[in-house]
Every structure is written in C-alpha cells, then in structure tokens.
A = this chain, B = another copy of it.
Amino acid sequence: MSSKVEKNKRQKENSLYDAAYNLFTTKGINDTAISDIVKNAGVGKGTFYLYFKDKYDILDRIILKKSSEVLCQAIAETKSKDFKAFEDELLYFIDYIIEYFKKDRLMLKLIYKNLSWGVLKKASKDYEEIREIYTMFEKGYANTSLPKEDIEKILFLIMELTGSISYSSIILKEPTDIDEMKPILFNTIRKII
C-alpha cells in the first residue's frame, strides 16, 4: 500500500478519535450518536465501521489513550526532577496528575467513571512508562520487608484514592474544592507510605 494511502487512513482514524472525544466530553456518551461522530469528523458513516466496532469500542480506546497520556506525562516529568526522597517523588507525581485534571475537567469526567487502574495495568504492555510507575514505587519500598504484592496493593490503593478524591472534589466540589482537599489527601498519603 502506498504510504500516501496509509497516511490518509491514519488521518481519518484520528479525526474520528478527535471528534468522538470532543463529543463524549461535551455532550456525554449517551447523547453522542455515531452519526454525530462521523459528521464532526468529516467522514462517511460507513468509514466509522472500518475502524471501530461500535461506540463503546472507540470509547474504550479513547479512555485508554487519554489516561495513559496523563500517567506517561506525570511519570516522565517526575523522573526528570531527580528527587532524593521517595515521599517527595510520589507526592510530586500525584500532584502532577491532580493539576492535569484541574486543567482538563472534561477529560477527568470522561475517564474516571470508565477507567480502572486494572485496565491500565493490562495496557502497560504498550506503555513502558506505566511499568515505570511500579518501578518507582518499588524502589521507594526497597529497604522494607514488605512482599512485592503488598507494595503493589498499596500503590493501587493510593491511585484509587487519588482518582476518587480528584473526581469528587474537582467535578462535584464535594466535600469541598480540590485545593482544600489536597493537604488532607497528601497528609493521608504520607501516613500510608
């Protein structure tokens, strides 16, 4: 296949991704029809089915893509800082994620209700950076006697807590604004590790 054709295909697929993401975040998943997506993407209706099975197929892929993006960016940024203390490193990582969500509330809204940390772990085949989160965390626990599985569980627990608190305080403003929750959350994480 000529690379021109290949490029054109990639282009169509991407415009479908973009259109779907925009519609899912602004109108909601239920209120977005495939005909909306193809209209916004500027492609024919049949074309959608060449790339995706249905609405939930493209949704799943978008969620994976977007949440990986956040995590990759967060881990890359954290690693570049060369923290001495593990606690500082972890909190910087968590804070980066929260600040990201604060700037892109629509994305948080879309991915939170549809993402589980477990799904991401499966995706870690494709994203080396996600494995690095584990590495960072395990290194932080290097001189403890905790079994590796327990360390992973603690990481899992912290990630779930972060996601949960981010969602409720950023999206629902419950029980209060994220900036007021952060000290409590960070303090809690410090106690946990």
* A interface residue numbers (CB < 8 A to B): 30, 113, 116-118, 121, 149-150, 152-154, 156-157, 160-161, 163-165, 168, 172, 174-176, 180-181, 184-185, 188, 191-192
Contacts and interface: CB of A to CB of B under 8 A. Distances in A.
B192 A188 contact: yes
**Closest 8 interchain pairs by CB?**
A118-B174, A160-B164, A191-B191, A164-B164, A156-B175, A153-B184, A161-B161, A188-B192
Nearest to A193: B191
A152 B168 CA distance: 14
Contact of A157 (B30, B116, B154, B188): B188
A-side interface mostly: helix
Contacts of A160: 161, 164-165, 168
A141 to B, nearest CB: 13
Given A157-B161, A157-B184, 7 more contacts: A30-B30, A116-B172, A156-B174, A157-B188, A160-B168, A161-B164, A192-B192
19 contacts: A30-B30, A113-B113, A117-B174, A118-B172, A118-B174, A121-B174, A150-B184, A153-B180, A156-B168, A157-B161, A157-B181, A157-B184, A157-B185, A157-B188, A160-B164, A160-B165, A161-B161, A163-B164, A191-B192
A176 B157 CA distance: 11
Contacts of A30: 30
Given A153-B181, A163-B164, A175 B118 contact: yes
Nearest to A161: B161
